[in-house]
Chains A and B, each alone.
Chain A
Amino acid sequence: MASTPSESAAPPVRVAIAGLGFGAEFAPIYRALPTAELIAVCRRDRAALDQFADAFGVEKRYTDFDEMLADSDIDAVHINTPIPDHARQSVAALEAGKHVACTVPMATSLDDCERIVDAAAQSGKTYMMMETVVFSREFLYVQDLVTSGKIGRIQFLRGAHHQEMAGWPGYWEGLPPMHYATHAVSPLLAISGKHAEYVSCFGSGRIDDALIDKYGSPFAVETAHIKLADSDLSAEVTRSLFNTARQYVESFSVYGSLRSFEWEQTHGSQAVVFTGEEPERVEVPDFADRLPEPIQRFTTHGVYDDQHEHLSFIQGSGHGGSHPHLVNEFVASIREGRKAAVDEITAANWTAVGICAHDSAMADGARVDLPAFSIRHEFVG
């Protein structure tokens, strides 16, 4: 990860963060990273915007996203706004010539995914979906096991994301479980270095009637099979959001011919590596040493003190220390003029899996093919 002299000579990437709820987590990381500069923040609520910008010493402040895009000093926009805004804002930012980082999911429809893919291609700018799971320490640990050959031949992959969303407002009420599935899907596809080709999904159970009406989706749980393109591998993912008793978990498991990795069953019980038939509880190391020194500390520390951490940061166990890795990859890909690790096609593939899976569940499990624009037929790891 050492920078070449020419990279060091390039000016820092000037970043704006839009949405300062979860987005606030990233502000100190951009500020600490020598190759980036946090020059603007954007939030609709003026008072909250000023309070945040004062705290972090950010001069440029916008309450309007499109107004911010007109600021020619901004090279890149990191979008942390509500999910229904992702697509429109990503396209607008790309069309304004900005590099775009955006939290998951990429968009809420296949059409919007395609618009973003097209906009990224036309603009020539970097698009990266900021999927936390594929930069978590557990993912990086398993990736090491795979690339070093310790897993042997990958035989099967499984992911799950159980989260109780009772009381979450707006967009989340009654959301089809698979419409927020990238945390469960992404590690499986990223570990295998393949894109999804088709899915078959079953819905199961039933949520409260008051929730069903919002999206016309009755299912408490959705479970999908994913066929991986150009591979003899399949994966299984399960999601629940309402009326399903389970400790919060974003889990993934990778089964190999020599070793397998399973996520911990309960919080703190530790992950298990099976060598043949022998299980061993493992301590997953931190991978801060892969980062520039000034942002290494952010793999274990959030922005706020214990009383003020963002809710999803706490629930996600700090997202496995992924935040500085995400920031570093986004900035490095821009400076090196290359595709980001989770580029627009990969982001579209991961997001489309969930959308297609729910379509399949509504059609009693019928096979649904991923759209062609979301599949790259080459190694993508």
Chain B
Amino acid sequence: MAEEPTSDEAVSANIEQDSLTRKPLRVAVVGLGFGAEFVPIYQAHPHADVAAVCQRTASSLNEIADTFGIERRYVDYEDVLADTEIDAIHLNTPIPLHATQTIAALKAGKHVAVNVPMATTLEECEEIVDAALASDRTYMMMETRVYSREFLYVQELVQAGKLGRLQFLRGSHHQEMRDWPGYWEGLPPMYYATHAISPLLAIAERRAEYVHCHGSGRIRESLATRYGSPFAIESALVKLHGADLSAEITRSLFETAREYVEYFAVYGSERSFEWEQTLNSGPVLFTGETATYVDVPDFADRLPKQIRVFTTQGVYGGSEPGTALPHASGHGGSHPHLVHEFVESIREHRTPTVNAFVAANWSAVGLCAHASALAGGERVALPAFTLDEA
């Protein structure tokens, strides 16, 4: 997925050279809760700048804009779309808004980066794919998992042949969402599954072809009625397209005792990697039958030097990280890698790693899995458009 890193010097030299001849990408960051994490990264990136920020609440909009010295401030998303001095929009808005805002941005001629999931229905996923194709603009889903240091570490092991033949993949995401408002109340576990499935498909460099999913357990009636989804846990088997590989993913959101975890494991014929069982117990690398606890390195050296600091520090100098950081351990240092990939794919006129087809496939796994669970575990095929290549 990630480009081969050239040497440190070469990366920086190329960037310096480009900077003299091309204008930076003018980015608007929309939604400043989790989105605030990305503002200083775009500002520091040699090929990008934050041209505007947008948030519905004027007070917090001004607070963050003041902090980062950003002049153009919008409370209305429509005004962002109409601003001709914005090249790209990074959406960090509530999930139910992703689809309409993404499509509107593409139609307004903006490049779009958006948080997970792509959308909440298969129809919306297809509309976004179509809009991206029609617009000739870049679409990228900002999936943190596939730029976490653990992912990059395992990807290196796989590419170096150290795992041998890939034999099986497993992911899980356990998170207690009690009292999270609105959209989250009673959400079917698989409707927010990209963190569990994406590392598996990205490591295997495959799309999902079909799924079988079982729902298990039961959440309280007041939650279950919200989406008509009674399950405490959903576990899906995922067949990988064009490979003899399968994966298993498990999700829970309510009334299931478990420390927060976004877990993945990759089993190979020579070596296997398993995520740590408890926070800071350390991931395990199995060489044959021998288990070794491993320290996962940071991959900041793959980034322009101006944004390397952000693999280990949050927005506010590290002392006061943004809301998403403590639980997810800073998303494994993924934020600057995501920004870099989005910016560079636009500059290089190439498809980003998590393009619209990939994003649709990853998002559709969860949607199809929940449909399967409601049908007692029946096989549900991923829509054909999610298997297309860019």
Point out residues on A near B: beta carbons under 8 Å. 152-158, 164, 198, 200-206, 218, 220-221, 223, 225, 227, 232-236, 238, 240, 243-248, 255-260, 262, 264-267, 269, 272, 274-279, 281, 364-367
B153 within 8 Å of A (CB atoms): no
* Known A-B contacts A243-B165, A246-B286; A202 and B246 likewise in contact (beta carbons under 8 Å): yes
Task: Enumerate chain A residues within 8 angstroms of B277, measured Cβ to Cβ.
Answer: 262, 264-265, 269, 272
* Known A-B contacts A243-B165, A265-B281, A277-B258; A232 and B286 likewise in contact (beta carbons under 8 Å): no
B141-173 interface (Cβ within 8 A of A): 163-170
Contact call B235/A156, Cβ cutoff below 8 A: yes
* Known A-B contacts A156-B252, A232-B216; A223 and B246 likewise in contact (beta carbons under 8 Å): yes
Q: Which residue of B lies closest to A364 (CB)?
A: B239
Task: Enumerate chain B residues within 8 angstroms of A206, measured Cβ to Cβ.
Answer: 165, 167, 244
Contact call B272/A245, Cβ cutoff below 8 A: yes
Contact call A266/B167, Cβ cutoff below 8 A: no
Contact call A277/B216, Cβ cutoff below 8 A: no
Task: Enumerate chain B residues within 8 angstroms of A366, measured Cβ to Cβ.
Answer: 379
**Smallest distance from the beta carbon of B245 to chain A beta carbons, Å?**
5
| Cross-interface CB contact of A155 among B256, B260, B376, cutoff 8 Å | B256
| Cross-interface CB contact of A245 among B246, B278, B288, cutoff 8 Å | B288
Contact call B291/A204, Cβ cutoff below 8 A: no
Given A202-B237, A236-B250, 17 new contacts (CB under 8 A): A152-B257, A200-B212, A201-B237, A220-B167, A225-B214, A225-B237, A227-B376, A232-B215, A232-B218, A243-B269, A244-B268, A244-B269, A245-B272, A256-B256, A258-B257, A265-B274, A279-B278
Contact call B230/A255, Cβ cutoff below 8 A: no
* Known A-B contacts A156-B256, A245-B287; A227 and B217 likewise in contact (beta carbons under 8 Å): no
B270 within 8 Å of A (CB atoms): yes
Q: Which residue of A lies closest to B270 (CB)?
A: A245
| Cross-interface CB contact of A248 among B230, B235, B289, cutoff 8 Å | B289
The 14 listed contacts between A and B (C-beta, < 8 Å) are: A156-B216, A158-B250, A201-B237, A202-B246, A205-B166, A205-B244, A223-B248, A233-B217, A247-B289, A255-B232, A255-B257, A255-B258, A256-B257, A265-B276
Contact call B245/A205, Cβ cutoff below 8 A: yes
Task: Enumerate chain B residues within 8 angstroms of A265, measured Cβ to Cβ.
Answer: 274, 276-277, 281, 284
B285-301 interface (Cβ within 8 A of A): 286-291, 293
Q: Which residue of A lies closest to B285 (CB)?
A: A245
B322 within 8 Å of A (CB atoms): no
Contact call B259/A278, Cβ cutoff below 8 A: yes
Contact call A260/B256, Cβ cutoff below 8 A: yes
B164-200 CB mask vs A (1 if < 8 Å, else 0) is: 1111111000001000000000000000000000000
**Smallest distance from the beta carbon of B285 to chain A beta carbons, Å?**
9
Q: Number of B interface residues, CB 8 Å?
A: 59
B377 within 8 Å of A (CB atoms): yes
Contact call A276/B246, Cβ cutoff below 8 A: no
Q: Which residue of B lies closest to A208 (CB)?
A: B269
B271 within 8 Å of A (CB atoms): yes
Report the separation of the CA atoms of residues A279 and B256 in the bound assembly, to the nearest whole angstrom.
13
Report the separation of the CA atoms of residues A89 and B269 in the bound assembly, to the nearest whole angstrom.
37
B233 within 8 Å of A (CB atoms): yes
Query: Chain B CB within 10 Å — which of A152, A218, A243 has the most?
Result: A243
**Smallest distance from the beta carbon of B246 to chain A beta carbons, Å?**
4
Task: Enumerate chain B residues within 8 angstroms of A276, measured Cβ to Cβ.
Answer: 176, 257
Task: Enumerate chain B residues within 8 angstroms of A236, measured Cβ to Cβ.
Answer: 214, 235, 248, 250
Contact call B212/A245, Cβ cutoff below 8 A: no
Task: Enumerate chain A residues within 8 angstroms of B127, measured Cβ to Cβ.
Answer: none
Report the separation of the CA atoms of residues A154 and B276 in the bound assembly, to the nearest whole angstrom.
24
Contact call B257/A275, Cβ cutoff below 8 A: yes
**Smallest distance from the beta carbon of A314 to chain B beta carbons, Å?**
13
Report the separation of the CA atoms of residues A158 and B263 in the bound assembly, to the nearest whole angstrom.
15
Q: Which residue of A lies closest to B378 (CB)?
A: A367
8 A-B pairs with least C-beta separation? A155-B217, A205-B167, A234-B214, A204-B246, A202-B246, A221-B168, A155-B232, A234-B216
| Cross-interface CB contact of A218 among B217, B244, B281, cutoff 8 Å | B244
| Cross-interface CB contact of B257 among A233, A240, A245, A277, cutoff 8 Å | A277
**Smallest distance from the beta carbon of A154 to chain B beta carbons, Å?**
7
**Smallest distance from the beta carbon of B36 to chain A beta carbons, Å?**
25
B267 within 8 Å of A (CB atoms): yes
Contact call B252/A223, Cβ cutoff below 8 A: no
Contact call A240/B232, Cβ cutoff below 8 A: no
Report the separation of the CA atoms of residues A158 and B216 in the bound assembly, to the nearest whole angstrom.
11
| Cross-interface CB contact of A164 among B284, B289, B377, cutoff 8 Å | B289
Contact call B235/A225, Cβ cutoff below 8 A: yes
B344 within 8 Å of A (CB atoms): no
Q: Which residue of B lies closest to A365 (CB)?
A: B212
| Cross-interface CB contact of A247 among B176, B278, B290, cutoff 8 Å | B290
Report the separation of the CA atoms of residues A276 and B235 in the bound assembly, to the nearest whole angstrom.
20
Report the separation of the CA atoms of residues A244 and B265 in the bound assembly, to the nearest whole angstrom.
13
